[in-house]
Homo-oligomer: A and B are copies of this chain.
């Protein structure tokens, strides 16, 4: 199916003309997809529309506050909108619903153009920035709850304004969200700093599995099911946070984290320095993402084999980049 690329004005017009929205957010939800979904849903509701924001996966507890932007409404959804969803494969059990999307709002270059209309801005560090401009265009006042949702997306997708996708616009919109009352201190503490005792234990265990390749330019850590199941009180979010760990070690250009999601299903997360584009590596294995943060999955073989396939591709990327 060929999509029609639309701009902010056209997306706002579409949202003004339709009603009864089902807003879909991607599986393994992060702050950006949840921020987009709840902010857009809240804004549509404030216009008198019916809307609900739904994630196919359980939403980690630390994101609960985002749903303060939304009211629960009972209605039969008619118009499907996907936010921050590059591919309907990322909708899990709701893939078929997503395949009928009327509108997709996204910032991933890897978007597969599955929706009838696509508003794509790959220059936006967070998809929440696009949602901000749509809400502005719709003329809805951004209140504290919506500001919290938008701020969360802007902060989380840029690693708290640290990553290369951070733009001057990103900072200026964050400034406005703070002025609109966003609880940025609590949000940032919950998103970036707070660790449960379980998470600390998990990090220590995973750190013991570390292996280096390519003269220390590549580091891999492992989180097999046996490790994850032996630690009490950790959730998918604790496990997800491991992804960024190996890249933090001095000298590492590509950090890899291999997690066993369930028996025989391995999720590989990649993080890279500015020298390597790790979305290209993930794409080789049917995955995707951003230049500095990407991921892919393997549903066969062992956790070792999954890791080694990715390491080989990373070594090749390092050679191409002249790192080794």
Contacts and interface: CB of A to CB of B under 8 A. Distances in A.
Nearest to A186: B274
A179 interface: yes
Contact of A167 (B178, B196, B197, B249): B178
Interface in A243-281: 244, 247-250, 273-274
Given A172-B171, A174-B171, A178-B168, A162 B249 contact: no
Interface in A189-228: 189, 192-197, 200, 204, 207
Contacts of A273: 189
Interface residues of A, number: 40
A49 B176 CA distance: 38
Nearest to A247: B193
A249 B171 contact: no
B178 A163 contact: no
A161 interface: yes
Counted per complex, copies of this chain come to: 2
Contact of A250 (B161, B164, B197, B250): B197
A124 interface: no
A200 B188 CA distance: 23
A124 to B, nearest CB: 15
A166 interface: yes
B161 A161 contact: yes
Question: 8 closest A-B pairs (Cβ-Cβ)?
Answer: A168-B175, A171-B175, A162-B188, A171-B171, A164-B185, A193-B248, A196-B250, A171-B174
Interface of A: 155, 159-164, 166-172, 174-176, 178-179, 184-186, 188-189, 192-197, 200, 204, 207, 244, 247-250, 273-274
